[in-house]
Amino acid sequence: MWHVDATHNTFITTGNAGPESTTAEVSLFYNGGKNKYRLERKLSPGQQLWLDVGQVIHDQLADSDGQTLPSDTMSGSYELRDLDHQTVGQLYEGKLIIDKTYGHASYGCGTCCGYSVPTLLPDPFAGPPGIDNTDVMQSTEQCGGELVDLADDAYNWQSTNTSVATLPTKVLHTVANGSATGSGEVYVQADKPAPRCPMAYYTPQQPVTVCDFTVGPSTVYAQNCTGQSQNNNNFSATITPSSCLPDSVKSKCGASWVSGNIDLVGSPTCVFNLGPPSATVTYFAGPKLPNGSAGTFDVTFDLYFDSLKADIARYVTATSECP
């Protein structure tokens, strides 16, 4: 991996350790591995090549094909090849990354530093509709063993069900309840088979579940609208998809008057058992309004989903029809 920005620079070096001249090729990959900057040099025995990547970018130095590295490029992978000795190369390699902030320098040499098969995180993802989540394409860089995020180098982002969630970039957007699978593609040096580290395409996948629910019914029937005796109506939450299980310990329900001649008797009874979350609302209704109902009230469920580590609140405005 090479890294160049305001506080980092990278030097890539190679030298010919063989008894005869050879052609060294240094390739800098960028833009998710889709583009490369290629430098070819003939090296005599004992001769070295130093590539100051920061200078290449800053001074817009053309490569062997006349291409330059875009000035906003900051990181990528690289490859070193002995073009004249394909199977047993004569080249030795070194890399120096300088961190100007603290004066640190890290070295890499002699081995390739490929990436393990990445995972797209969170894996799995679960969330409510209408949120954005920045995914991480996590891989382990085999030289340092550190976890790296390859998401900025990935491309071909997609979702198998865009009515549930979209993944046009590394930002996952949830749309509506259901299930989908998100994926992105990245082209980097693999960590196997060591020590060759051939370039490889990885397409990690991410199961996505978007949980939501509705509250019903929206029309209930009062037993009487005389205003003299209590009415009871039951409401419940319909949760989809099936993998979304609410945690009753952290869930709530409530009811509130909206319009008309409805007098709620306190707060509802919230019922949590092996059935769906439900609520019984007790109220006095009446007298009857011209439209035949006694009025309306809201019933709200605030359900907590462990898989989301969050709650979702939904309500229904119920009309109480008089007999």
* 21 phi and psi angles, rounded to 5 deg: -65, 150
Closest CA to 277 of 299, 257, 298, 296: 299
State which residue, 142 or 236, has the beta carbon closest to other proteins: 236
Q: Is 252 in the site for other proteins (CB under 8 A)?
A: yes
Q: Is 160 in the site for other proteins (CB under 8 A)?
A: no
Contacts with other proteins, 255-284, as mask; x by CB under 8 A: -x------xxxxxxxxxxxxxx-xx----x
Partners of 25 in the β-ladder: 40, 81
Residue with tokens 């580590």: 309
Q: Is 313 in the site for other proteins (CB under 8 A)?
A: yes
* 141 phi and psi angles, rounded to 5 deg: -80, 125
Q: For strands 219-221 and 310-321, give the pairing.
A: parallel
Q: Is 245 in the site for other proteins (CB under 8 A)?
A: yes
Residues 244-280 as b or e (16 or more Cβ within 10 Å = b): bebeeeebbbbbeeeebbbeeeeebebbeeeeebbbe
Residue with tokens 């439209």: 291
Q: Which stretch binds other proteins (CB under 8 A): 20-28, 101-109, 186-194, 249-257?
A: 249-257
State which residue, 93 or 212, has the beta carbon closest to other proteins: 212
Q: Which stretch binds other proteins (CB under 8 A): 35-43, 114-122, 159-167, 243-251?
A: 243-251
From 179, 233, 261, 319, residue interacting with other proteins (rule: CB under 8 A): 179
Q: How far is the CB of 198 from other proteins (least distance, A)?
A: 34
Q: Report whether 259 contacts 230 (CB < 8 A).
A: no
State which residue, 48 or 259, has the beta carbon closest to other proteins: 259
Q: Which stretch binds other proteins (CB under 8 A): 20-28, 53-61, 153-161, 238-246?
A: 238-246
Exposed, middle or buried: residue 228 (CB in 10 Å: 0-12, 13-18, 19+)?
exposed
Q: How far is the CB of 277 from other proteins (least distance, A)?
A: 10
- Interface with other proteins by CB under 8 A: which residues? 179, 236, 238-243, 245, 248-254, 256, 263-276, 278-279, 284, 302, 313
